Structure 1
Amino acid sequence: MSGSAYEQRLAEAMAELDATRAAVARTEAELAGASVTSRSKDRSVEVTVGPQGELTGLRFLEDRYRTMAAGQLAASVLEAAVEARGLMARQVMDAFEPFTRPSAGVPELTGVDVDWARIFGSGVLEDGPSRDSGRRRRDDIGDEITEDPEEEHHHG
C-alpha cells in the first residue's frame, strides 16, 4: 500500500471512529433521561427505573396494598422492579447494538465488545437477552407466592 493510500485509509478510519464516538455520546445523552415503568401482575404496585436500572419511582395502586400480607407486597414490588429493569436493559442494549457491529466502510473497525452483565449486573440478564426475559422471571415470582388450596388437600 502506498503512503498516500495508507494515509487515505487511516483518515477514513479516524473519521468513522470520530463519527462513532459522537453517535455513542448522543445515545448516552438520550438514555440519561430514559425511564421504564412496570406494574406487578396483580396490579398492586408500579415501579419506575432509570437507565442503569436504578429505582426512581414506586407507587402502590388502588389501596390494594392495605389488604396484602407483607411477603406478598414485597414480592409484588420485586416482580415489578425485575420486569422494569429487564425492559430498561433491553432498551439500552437495543440503543447500543449498532455500535457492536463491524464497520461496513472500514472492516478493520470490528465493533465494540460490550460486557452487558458487568454493566447491568448478573441478575438482570440471567435469562439471556430475549425480549420477554423479564416476563418469565416475573411469572416465576408469581408462582412462588401463589398458594394453591387444592395442593394443600393433596398433601394432607
Structure 2
Amino acid sequence: MSMLGDEGLLAEMRAALKDVDEAAERVRRRVARAQTTVEDKKKLLSVTVGGHGELTRITFNGDAYRRLAPAELADLIVTTARTAREKAQRKTMAGTAELTRHLTGLDDAAQSAGSIEELVEGIASMVSGGADRRTGPAAS
C-alpha cells in the first residue's frame, strides 16, 4: 500500500474514533442523568436506581410494609431493586443503540449487546477486526 493510502486510512480511523468518542460521551451524559423507579407488585414500596444501577432511594407507600416479616420485607426490597437495576440496564442499552445508530458497525454492536460490558467487547472486536484487515496480506 502506498504512503498516501496509509495516510488516508489513518485519517479515516481518526474520524471513526472521534465519532465513537462523541457517541460514548453522549451515552455517559445520558447515563449520569438517568433514573429508574420500580414499584413492587403489591405497591408497598418503590425503589429508584441511577443510570449505573446504583440504589438511590427506597420509598415506602403507606405502612402496610410493617405487617411483613423482616425476611419477607428484605426479600421484597432486594427483588424490587433487582428489577429496577435490570430495567435501568435495558434503558441504558436502548439509549446506547439510539445514540450510536449513525456509526457504521457500532450500531450492530450496540443493538446486540445486552450490557455495557458486551458493548465494549463488541467495539473491541470491531477494532481488532479492523487491525487484522490492516495487518493482513495486503499490508505485507
TM over 0.5: yes
Once residues 16 and 30 of structure 1 are traced to their aligned partners in structure 2, the CA distance between those partners, rounded to angstroms, is: 21
Q: What is the letter of the counterpart of residue 28 of structure 1?
A: R
Once residues 97 and 31 of structure 1 are traced to their aligned partners in structure 2, the CA distance between those partners, rounded to angstroms, is: 13
Q: What is the letter of the counterpart of residue 63 of structure 2?
A: D
Please state which structure has a larger fraction of its residues in helix: 2
Once residues 33 and 49 of structure 1 are traced to their aligned partners in structure 2, the CA distance between those partners, rounded to angstroms, is: 11
> What corresponds to 1:135 in structure 2?
none
Q: Is 2:23–2:100's contact at 8 Å kept on the other side of the alignment?
A: no
Judged with a 3 Å threshold, the aligned counterparts in structure 2 of structure 1 residues 111 and 83 are, in CA distance, closer, same or farther, namely closer
Once residues 7 and 45 of structure 2 are traced to their aligned partners in structure 1, the CA distance between those partners, rounded to angstroms, is: 59
Q: What is the letter of the counterpart of residue 117 of structure 2?
A: D
TM-score, length basis structure 1 = 0.60
How far the C-alpha of 1:88 sits from its partner, in A, is 1.0
Secondary structure at 1:23 match in 2:
helix
TM-score, length basis structure 2 = 0.67
Pick which of 30-39 and 58-67 moved more: 58-67
> What corresponds to 1:43 in structure 2?
43
How far the C-alpha of 1:36 sits from its partner, in A, is 0.5
Determine whether 1:53 maps to 2:27.
Answer: no
Q: Percent identity?
A: 33
Cα RMSD (Å): 2.9
Q: How many matched pairs?
A: 112
Q: What is the letter of the counterpart of residue 73 of structure 2?
A: L
> What corresponds to 1:121 in structure 2?
none
5+ residue gaps in structure 1?
Answer: 117-156
Q: What is the letter of the counterpart of residue 10 of structure 2?
A: L
Once residues 43 and 14 of structure 1 are traced to their aligned partners in structure 2, the CA distance between those partners, rounded to angstroms, is: 51
5+ residue gaps in structure 2?
Answer: 119-140
> What corresponds to 1:75 in structure 2?
75
Q: What is the letter of the counterpart of residue 23 of structure 2?
A: A
